[in-house]
Every structure is written in structure tokens, then in C-alpha cells.
């Protein structure tokens, strides 16, 4: 049996999964509406465009003319009603103003109660990401335990694996905490 040589590359697949988890969390945070207009809140909203579910940003020009307003001008004027209905059906909680050529979304200042709800949502997303990171660590340790069982890895090597995977886990959980704290701060700003 050949022994496994442990080096930085041994942990790359797990670190890549952890990076992806952090990236997904950041994208989720971008879709949470703060007090300012952010076109990313429209990323999850799609319309039925000629039989295909299409994101709004692929059928319209989206601009932020003022800090609390998003302007949506569809390239195909016939899709204006579909965009309006999709926004009304979404969880944005904003009724678009339709002038016949474009839609305007005016973001009212968030109430204290709504801010607290959004902070809870941020913390829920952060906790789910932490669980995902811990699962990646567990999967890595399980894989290396299999190598230990097959005598391809020594006990000392296994201890090194556990230490290094824990360091990666701590690093990415710290990143998640930082991202969640920044989003909480952003939401609580008046």
C-alpha cells in the first residue's frame, strides 16, 4: 500500500467547496433589500418570456436613478405587464409604478420591525452556511479516515488532516461571521 502524501493540494477540494459556500451566502445577502435601492434584489425574479422563465435583468434595462429608486425599462415593451406582475408576486413588498414605458420601484425606508426581520433572515442564511462548511469538514475527515482504515495514512497524518481541516473551517466560519455582521450593520443603518 502506498502512503498518501499530505500537502496543500490535499485540502484544495475542501477549501474550494468552502469558498463556493461563502460566495453563495454573499449572493443571498445581496438579494436582501436594505433601505437603499439595489438592483440585485431583482436577480431572483423571473418572468415568462416567450415560454421561458427569464430573469428580469435579461429582458430589461435596470437603473438606479436615485438612492431609493430602481427604474426598469424592458427592451420589449410587451413584457412590461409581465415584469410588473412578477414584481408584485415576489417577496419584495413593493408595488411598481407603471408609466406605460417603464416601471419605477420606490423603496420606502425600512421600519424597525422589518429591519429586525431581515437581520433574522441574514442570521438564518449565515447559520445555514456555517452548517454547510462543517459538513464539508466532516466529509473531508471521513474521506481521510477511509484512507487511514486502508493503511494509506498514518495516525499522525490523520491528526494533521483534522487540524488543517479545522483551521480551514474556522477561517471560513470567521468570514461568514464578518459578512453577516456587515449585512446586519447595513440593515440597521437608518
Contact residues for 103 (Cβ-Cβ < 8 A; gap 6+): 71, 72, 73, 80, 83, 84, 87, 96, 97
CATH 1.10.132.20 assigned to 8-30+111-188: yes
**pLDDT tens sequence for the chain (190 residues):** 567 777 778 889 999 999 999 999 998 888 776 667 788 888 888 888 888 898 998 999 999 998 889 999 999 988 999 999 998 888 777 889 999 899 998 888 878 888 888 899 999 999 999 999 999 999 999 999 998 898 888 899 899 999 999 999 999 999 999 999 999 988 887 5
The CATH label, of 3.50.50.60, 3.30.1360.40, 3.40.50.300, 3.40.50.2300, for the domain at 39-106 is: 3.30.1360.40
User: What residue spans define the domains of the chain?
Assistant: 8-30+111-188, 39-106
Q: What is the pTM of this model?
A: 0.74
Amino acid at each position: 500500500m502506498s502512503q498518501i502524501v499530505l500537502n496543500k493540494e490535499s485540502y484544495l477540494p475542501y477549501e474550494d467547496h468552502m469558498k463556493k459556500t461563502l460566495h453563495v451566502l454573499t449572493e443571498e445577502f445581496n438579494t436582501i433589500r436594505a433601505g437603499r435601492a439595489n438592483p440585485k434584489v431583482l436577480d431572483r425574479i423571473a418572468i415568462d418570456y416567450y415560454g421561458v422563465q427569464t430573469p428580469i435583468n435579461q429582458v430589461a434595462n435596470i437603473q438606479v436613478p436615485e438612492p431609493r429608486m430602481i427604474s426598469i425599462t424592458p427592451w420589449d415593451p410587451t413584457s412590461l405587464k409581465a415584469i410588473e406582475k412578477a414584481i408584485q408576486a415576489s417577496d419584495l413588498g413593493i408595488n411598481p409604478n407603471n408609466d406605460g414605458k417603464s416601471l419605477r420601484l420606490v423603496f420606502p425606508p425600512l421600519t424597525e420591525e422589518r429591519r429586525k426581520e431581515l437581520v433574522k433572515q441574514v442570521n438564518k442564511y449565515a447559520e445555514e452556511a456555517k452548517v454547510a462548511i462543517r459538513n464539508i469538514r466532516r466529509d473531508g475527515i471521513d474521506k481521510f479516515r477511509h484512507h487511514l482504515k486502508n493503511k494509506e495514512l498514518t495516525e499522525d497524518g490523520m491528526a494533521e488532516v483534522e487540524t488543517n481541516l479545522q483551521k480551514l473551517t474556522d477561517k471560513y466560519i470567521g468570514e461568514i461571521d464578518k459578512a453577516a455582521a456587515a449585512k446586519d450593520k447595513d440593515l440597521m443603518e437608518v
